[in-house]
């Protein structure tokens, strides 16, 4: 018995659990500090820089990287690509947790959590773009919860409710795509109100289109990235169907991402021409713009295309990481780096270590919850009682 207890203790005190526990503990302390001492106690935000890391990374990047849910479900249920069915539940779970964490992170920036539902239910501001974003995120989070719920209901053994929700799959998918199209593009439209603050190379009347198109390849990349991590650390939870389809999912999504990313490059060049901002390319800001566009969009698109052509799974997975970094770079450029670009460096915003720590805390919470759900619920395998449903 003492041997079994020692073995159990070793299972609990794994490096993942210890590191996650420390990060969560620090995050909880900083959370108490944020909501007792105010936002100024933990951030470097000011009147010139009211939106910082929590908006640029936690919200803008989080929403874009959670796009794998609507992309994968649309591919499977609307376009009839059933060979991607095994990727739907992991993608929906990732998207659902992503949006939950976005709302969770928004509390840190806005404050007063009890007031968060107020503009939706009590005083809707129908003329505000932020209201449209908030409403769409609220509705889409509800859709994602319903789409995810069959896995939880199978785990709980609630067959009747599960069967009712499964019959709603197509309607939920269509509704989810419509809502995603709206709020992904609207997040880009938010920055159109600040033409004097955002550098001309990043400011454009096409910002809503840029945000929507980039969310598509971000979602495709996130599905490949999440799948590669799951295969490494959750391989024992996958059934034969999931294992057999995984390579086809990664390479198929890599091919799609290559097309979307090159289309994104084309519309960015068109926007540059329409605004006649070519002369900025000869400046330092222009060099940084080309690093983003060529180094983190065009080159990973080429890597995706090569991976799909040569059926190189390893290259597709590395291209996914590369593309995700490119998406993060783009969102941070728009919200932080190229924002207030004309101000002296002394007045520019840089996040405090506590802002960074809280962002790491939020991501860690998501990873821990994802690990718990995939360990206990039928995410990577078909529940034995429902295998004939597909």
Specify if 15 maps to a domain.
no
CA distance 338 to 210: 16
Specify if 339 maps to a domain.
yes
Specify if 186 maps to a domain.
yes
Mean pLDDT within 248-271: 96
Alpha-carbon distances of 382 from 122, 151, 254, 318, rounded to whole Å: 42, 9, 25, 28
In this prediction, residue 42 carries a pLDDT of 94
User: Collapsing DSSP states into helix, strand and coil, what is residue 342?
Assistant: coil
Please provide the DSSP assignment of 223-270 as one string. Answer: HHHHHHHHHHHSGGG--HHHHHHHHHHHHHHHHHHHHHHHHHHHHHHH
Mean pLDDT within 130-150: 92
- pTM of this structure: 0.91
What confidence tens digit (pLDDT) does each residue in 193-235 have?
Answer: 889 899 999 999 999 999 999 999 999 999 999 999 999 888 8
What confidence tens digit (pLDDT) does each residue in 278-320 have?
Answer: 999 999 999 999 999 999 999 999 999 999 999 999 999 999 9
Specify if 334 maps to a domain.
yes
Specify if 263 maps to a domain.
yes
Percent of the chain whose predicted confidence (pLDDT) is above 70: 96
**Full residue range of the structural domain in which residue 113 is found:** 27-381
In this prediction, residue 7 carries a pLDDT of 43
Q: How many CA atoms lie within 13 A of 164 on its CB side?
A: 5
Longest pairwise C-alpha distance within the chain: 75
Specify if 50 maps to a domain.
yes
- Enumerate residues 6+ apart whose C-beta is below 8 A from 147: 69, 73, 92, 96, 169, 172, 173, 176
Q: Which residues partner with 339 through β-bridges?
A: 198
Identify the weakest region by mean pLDDT among 1-5, 226-230, 246-250, 352-356: 1-5
Q: Confidence class of residue 387 from pLDDT cuts 50, 70 and 90?
A: low
Specify if 190 maps to a domain.
yes
Please provide the DSSP assignment of 83-132 as one string. Answer: GGGGGHHHHHHHHHHHHHHHHHHHHHHH--GGGTTHHHHTS--TT-HHHH
Specify if 3 maps to a domain.
no
Q: What's the CATH number where 193 sits?
A: 1.20.1630.10
Taking alpha carbons only, the member of 325, 310, 304 closest to residue 254 is 304
Q: How many domains does the chain have?
A: 1
């Amino acid at each position: 018995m003492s041997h079994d207890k020692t073995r159990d203790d070793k299972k609990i005190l794994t490096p993942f659990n210890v590191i996650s526990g420390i990060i969560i503990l620090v995050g909880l302390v900083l959370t108490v500090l944020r909501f007792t001492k105010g936002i100024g106690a933990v951030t470097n935000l000011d009147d010139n820089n009211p939106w910082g890391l929590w908006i640029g990374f936690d919200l803008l990047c989080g929403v874009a990287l959670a796009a794998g849910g609507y992309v994968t479900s649309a591919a499977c249920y609307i376009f009839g690509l059933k060979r991607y069915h095994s990727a739907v539940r992991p993608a929906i779970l990732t998207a659902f947790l992503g949006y939950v964490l976005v709302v969770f992170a928004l509390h840190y920036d806005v404050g007063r959590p009890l007031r968060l539902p107020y503009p939706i239910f009590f005083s809707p501001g129908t003329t505000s773009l932020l209201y449209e974003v908030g409403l769409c995120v609220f509705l889409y989070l509800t859709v994602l919860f319903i789409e995810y719920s069959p896995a939880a209901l199978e785990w709980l053994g609630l067959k009747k409710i599960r069967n009712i929700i499964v019959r709603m799959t197509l309607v939920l998918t269509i509704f989810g795509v419509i809502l995603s199209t709206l709020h992904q593009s609207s997040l880009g439209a938010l920055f159109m109100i600040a033409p004097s603050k955002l550098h001309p190379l990043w400011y454009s009347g096409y910002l809503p289109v840029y945000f929507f198109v980039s969310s598509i390849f971000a979602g495709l990349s996130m599905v490949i990235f999440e799948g590669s991590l799951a295969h490494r650390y959750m391989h024992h939870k996958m059934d034969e169907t999931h294992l057999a389809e995984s390579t086809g999912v990664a390479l198929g999504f890599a091919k799609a991402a290559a097309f979307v990313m090159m289309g994104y490059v084309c519309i960015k060049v068109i926007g540059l021409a329409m605004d006649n901002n070519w002369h900025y390319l000869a400046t330092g800001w222009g060099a940084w713009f080309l690093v983003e566009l060529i180094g983190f969009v065009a080159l990973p698109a080429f890597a995706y295309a090569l991976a799909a052509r040569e059926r190189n799974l390893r290259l597709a997975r590395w291209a996914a990481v590369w593309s995700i970094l490119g998406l993060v770079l783009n969102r941070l450029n728009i919200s932080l780096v190229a924002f207030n670009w004309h101000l002296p460096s002394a007045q520019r915003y840089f996040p405090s270590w506590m802002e960074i720590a809280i962002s790491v805390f939020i991501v860690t919470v998501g990873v821990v919850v994802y690990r718990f759900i995939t360990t206990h619920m039928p995410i990577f395998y078909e529940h034995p009682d429902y295998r004939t449903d597909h």
